[in-house]
């Protein structure tokens, strides 16, 4: 099934894609590339519970970005700010306040990186996963964009029109490392 070409909203030109992992990003990367949208990727995921796990996930994203000649940026692994943000929220359920704090941090840093590097729009792969609350992710993206006048958060629903299915197909074709939790120790303890 052929999917319609994507068009960036609001006359924007330079897109930054926040990538949480290769399985979630693969479909988005392919859709953007097939729509002839020039974009760069940012890997910023301080929620990941260990440096070893962080590198596994980052290396998969880098491999796929290199395969499709997509420029890639990494803000390196440091979870100290994430720990500060979620302190007191450890017992929150998945999709609760802890996830909001986590998404907010990741998208705030993505927005800051976008502003500092002349991107006028950003989006994230976080919302493609059925394990995440799409509305919750988008609200965090809007709030992050509001801090920088002229910066747009693209709330495209990557799950729609077969996106979730293509995400699974691409993951299998590319033999992506498939984690069983979102990244934080709390989701690991309640694996999908």
Q: pLDDT digit string (tens) for 96-133?
A: 999 999 999 999 999 999 999 999 999 999 999 888 89
* Residue 10: exposure state from Cβ atoms within 10 A (0-12, 13-18, ≥19): exposed
Mean pLDDT of the chain: 93
pLDDT of residue 84: 96
Rounded mean pLDDT, 170-187: 84
Domain ranges in the chain are: 15-188
Rounded Cα gap, residues 47 and 77, in angstroms: 9
- Residue range 15-188 forms a domain whose CATH class is alpha beta
pLDDT of residue 33: 94
Per-residue pLDDT at 192 exceeds 60: no
Rounded Cα gap, residues 95 and 186, in angstroms: 12
Q: Quick count: other Cβ atoms within 10 Å of Cβ 151?
A: 19
Rounded Cα gap, residues 183 and 149, in angstroms: 31
Task: List 71's β-bridge partners, or say none.
Answer: 40
Contact indicator for 92, 126 with CB cutoff of 8 Å: no
Task: List 16's β-bridge partners, or say none.
Answer: 40, 122
User: Which is more confident, 188 or 130?
Assistant: 130
The 15-19 sheet, strands edge to edge: 71-74, 39-43, 15-19, 121-124, 152-153
Residue 141: how many CA atoms within 13 Å on its side-chain side?
22
pLDDT of residue 1: 54
Rounded Cα gap, residues 188 and 181, in angstroms: 5
The number of angstroms, rounded, from the C-alpha of 114 to the middle of its chain's C-alpha atoms is: 14
pLDDT of residue 177: 83
pLDDT of residue 125: 96
Enter the pTM of the model.
Answer: 0.94
Per-residue pLDDT at 87 exceeds 70: yes
User: Which is more confident, 185 or 13?
Assistant: 13
Contacts for 100 with CB less than 8 Å, ≥ 6 apart: 136, 139, 140
pLDDT of residue 190: 63
pLDDT of residue 164: 86
Give the percent of the chain with pLDDT over 70: 96
Question: The tokens of 154 are what?
Answer: 């693209």
Rounded Cα gap, residues 145 and 92, in angstroms: 26
Confidence of residue 70 (pLDDT cuts 50, 70, 90): very high
């Amino acid at each position: 099934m052929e999917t319609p070409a994507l068009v960036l909203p609001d006359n924007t030109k330079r897109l930054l894609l926040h990538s949480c992992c290769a399985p979630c990003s693969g479909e988005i990367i392919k859709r953007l590339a097939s729509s002839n949208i020039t974009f760069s990727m940012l890997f910023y995921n301080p929620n990941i519970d260990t440096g070893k796990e962080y590198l596994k996930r980052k290396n998969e994203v880098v491999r796929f970005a290199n395969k499709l000649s997509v420029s890639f940026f990494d803000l390196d692994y440091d979870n100290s700010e994430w720990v500060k943000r979620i302190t007191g929220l450890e017992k929150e359920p998945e999709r609760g306040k802890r996830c909001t704090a986590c998404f907010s941090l990741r998208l705030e840093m993505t927005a800051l990186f976008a502003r500092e590097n002349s991107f006028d729009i950003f989006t994230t792969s976080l919302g493609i996963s059925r394990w995440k609350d799409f509305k919750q992710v988008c609200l965090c993206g809007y709030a992050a964009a509001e801090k920088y006048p002229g910066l747009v958060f693209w709330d495209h629903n990557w799950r729609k029109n077969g996106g979730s299915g293509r995400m699974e197909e691409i993951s299998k074709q590319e033999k992506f490392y498939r984690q069983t939790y979102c990244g934080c120790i709390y989701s690991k303890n309640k694996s999908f």
